[in-house]
Structure formats: structure tokens, C-alpha cells
Amino acid sequence: MADFSFAVNLIRKYEGFHEKAYPNPTTGKEPYTIGYGTQFYPDGSPVKMGQRCTEQKALEYLFNEIDVIYRELLKLNLNLDNHMTQGLISFIHSIGWEPFLYSNIIDCLESDSYSGVCEEISRWIFDENYKLIGGLLDRRREEINLFLNQIDIPHYPSPEILLKAFEEFTGSQNQIEAVRILEQKINPYTLSEFSNNFRFNTESDCAYIDFDFTMSKYNFNVE
């Protein structure tokens, strides 16, 4: 078996080890998950509520799942290097084989559009209720970085979460509070760099703005 240590470590990091089977967090029902994200045992039988496993057994299940994904990827003849393969293995282990097949990733790979692959991977950051999940966002970034390890791409598309938030900003109280909480949590150096880059730099930029921030309807309490 090829070296898939990066993929194994990624999956273990984000799935975490669960000795006891647990239900779908959203529905409280099937599918049940155990170990490091296992929902079906090697013999094809589904995980059931209340079942348990040791960490060693969980690793056996995980290695089997990785081997299955790898063999299926080989059948697609996508000309992947080891790092690309490992990035995709972690991604597929997270979202499932069928969603992967119905995504645009295979088409992008066949046309050598690696930025397109990254853009597609970066979209899978929401739960079933379309709520953004920080762990998925972080995992997708790591999977993309692993995928691009041997590929020279100066910039790959991001999910543009902040840009979308700005577009949807209406000044509601919960939005203002969300901005304030974010500001408190961001590294101060990152925050200052963002503020400096975000500011208008020329008079022509400011010419389109006629806005009294001290009287803003958004009421930021600017003194």
C-alpha cells in the first residue's frame, strides 16, 4: 500500500476517535458513526447505535476505507501524484464517494484545472442546514494545501466568506454583534493589515462615498 500518512493524519485530526457509535448530529438518527468516521464496516454492514470499538480497530477500519477510496480513484485514470491523491482521499472520506463523483472535480482534473479543483473543494464547508462549520473550513484548507503540495499555483480560490457577509450586511443588531465578536478574536496584526488594505487609498475611491459614519443608521456607537 502506498504511503498515505498525510491523509491518515488529516482524517484522524478532524474526525477524532469515537469509541461508541453516535448518530447523525443533525437528525439524531442514521447513519451512525464510530471510530474515525466509519459508517460501514469492511464487510459492508452499517454501524449501529450503541456499538463500540477500540482505537486499534478504528484504525483498521480507516485503513480499509482509504484503500477502497484509493482503488476507486485509480480506476478513474486521473494522473494524480501522491499528494494530490492524499488530499482527495481525505476530502472523499469526509463527503462520500457519490458526492465526489457528482462534483466538478473530475472534470477539472481531466482538464488540468487545479484551481477549479480547489474551488470545488472549498465549497464543502457547510452542514446539512447550510450552517458554516469552522472545522470543515479548516479541513478543506489543509486538504487543498496537501493537494497542491507539488503544484505551483500562486493563488487558489477561497470560499470568500467575508465578501459574502459584506454583501449581505444590512446593519441588523445580530450582524453588528457578529462583527464585533470577530474583531475581538482576530489576531491584532492581521486585523490591522486588513484595515489598512481595506481603506480607500485614493480620492477617486472616496468620490463615490458621501457617508457620515458618526450618524450611520447602523449605529456603531462611533464617538
Residue ranges, the chain, pLDDT below 70: 1, 154-158, 199-223
Domains and their CATH numbers in the chain? 5-147 (1.10.530.40), 161-215 (no CATH)
CA-to-CA distance for 7 and 190, rounded, in angstroms?
A: 30
Confidence (pLDDT) at 151: 83
Q: Which amino acid is it at 113?
A: S
Confidence (pLDDT) at 127: 85
Q: What is the pTM of this model?
A: 0.75
Confidence (pLDDT) at 61: 98
Task: For 31-53, write each residue's pLDDT tens digit.
Answer: 999 999 999 999 999 999 999 99
- Residue 132 forms beta bridges with which residues? 126
Task: For 134-168, write each residue's pLDDT tens digit.
Answer: 899 899 999 999 999 888 776 566 677 777 788 88
CA-to-CA distance for 157 and 104, rounded, in angstroms?
A: 15
Confidence (pLDDT) at 51: 96
Contact between 31 and 24 (Cβ < 8 Å): yes
**Residue corresponding to grid cell 445580530:** 174
Confidence (pLDDT) at 201: 53
CA dihedral 63, 66, 71, 72 (to 10 degrees): 150
Confidence (pLDDT) at 158: 66
Is the bond leading into 42 cis (omega within 30 degrees of zero)?
no
Confidence (pLDDT) at 157: 60
CA-to-CA distance for 18 and 36, rounded, in angstroms?
A: 7
Confidence (pLDDT) at 163: 78
Residue 193: its H or E element: helix 188-198
Confidence (pLDDT) at 210: 45
CA-to-CA distance for 145 and 122, rounded, in angstroms?
A: 11
